[in-house]
Structure 1
Amino acid sequence: MNNLKNNNIKDLLKQYSDLIKEKQEIQAAIDKIQRELDKMEAEGYTEKDSVTGGDGGKQHFVVEGFPYPAYSRKRTLLLVRQRQQIDIKEKIDTQINLIEQCINQIDNSRMRRLITLRYIEGLSWVQVARKMGKHHTADSCRMAVERFLSKI
């Protein structure tokens, strides 16, 4: 918990579900970039152009080939974008691990369960109260967590 004293733990807990979703979106973007790279390499990425030439410039020829400069430029851009996405994903993983470590360091089992149900599983306070069992209401669960977080 000491790791998070400088950061507002409540804000980090609220971000947890967004961090998980962002991580999934970034993984999808990384996969898409990898598919584009694989497609470029597998299909042979060629371009066609029409040129005039021959006797007096009256004949038309179609030239087809592999555009190395364009391919290299696009591949480099895709690799840079992929690296940026991977870096962001690593930062998100670090934040997620920090939050989970913080929750696991809580000594009070009841509080650990309340925080896990609310912030990790994303349940509403009413659902948290139901999962906690009898003698728990949505408001009592919410207030207990708020009191605990304000003490940190």
Structure 2
Amino acid sequence: MDEEKRIQEMDTEIQAMAPICKEVTDVVTKGRRGKKPLGICTIHGNEDNTQINRKRARLRERKAKQELRLARIENMILDVEEYINEIPDSETRRMMRFFFIEEKTWNEVAEAMGEGFTGEACRKKINRELDKK
């Protein structure tokens, strides 16, 4: 969340800095033959944008790092789901799905499990299962 906010702020800064395609021109002499100039030439170019280019590069780096983190998190989620699916007891499997995947509180897990379950009992059952591994 914090990284997303930083990326958004940096993107906003870049938008505010964005050049309005300012063209820079200069008139120079083509050289001299003795004291006489060989002619003049007008040179056209764009304003130096190194500062905005640096910010854009940093923004691309941040976005790439964020994508890597998200990919790692997705892999971890898949690992957790695989672990849960391998648990032979369906009751424990359901509790783990509610708690770890759906991110419910222990009381919400107990409520989802139905009558006869308490949040504390669900927590203890899951802790015992995790202690086995």
TM over 0.5: yes
Code of the residue aligned with 1:71 in structure 2: it is: I
Alignment of 1:3-152 (within 5 A): 26=3, 30=7, 39=15, 43-44=18-19, 66-152=47-133
Code of the residue aligned with 2:55 in structure 1: it is: K
Show CA shifts across 1:13-65 (max 9, x none). xxxxxxxxxxx55455556656666x379x53568xxxxxxxxxxxxxxxxx6
Contact 1:117 1:128 in 2 (8 A): yes
Structure 2 residue matching 1:67: 3-state secondary structure: coil
Distance change in 2, residues 1:27/1:107 (3 Å): farther
Code of the residue aligned with 1:113 in structure 2: it is: R
C-alpha separation between the residues in 1 aligned to 2:74 and 2:10?
A: 20
More helix by share: 1
C-alpha separation between the residues in 2 aligned to 1:141 and 1:69?
A: 58
Q: Which runs of 5+ in 1 are unaligned?
A: 1-23, 48-64
Identity of aligned residues (%): 27
Flag as ranges the 4+ runs of structure 1 deviating above 4 A.
Answer: 24-37
Structure 2 residue matching 1:122: 3-state secondary structure: coil
- 1:14 aligns with none
C-alpha separation between the residues in 2 aligned to 1:30 and 1:93?
A: 20
Q: What is the total number of aligned residue pairs between the two structures? A: 110
Normalising by structure 2, report the TM-score: 0.62
Deviation at 1:102, TM superposition (A): 1.4
Deviation at 1:104, TM superposition (A): 2.1
Distance change in 2, residues 1:68/1:139 (3 Å): closer
Distance change in 2, residues 1:77/1:141 (3 Å): closer
Structure ID, larger Rg? 2
RMSD across aligned positions (CA): 3.0
Contact 1:30 1:82 in 2 (8 A): yes
Q: Which runs of 5+ in 2 are unaligned?
A: 23-45
The structure whose RCO (Cα within 8 Å, separation 6+) is larger is: 1
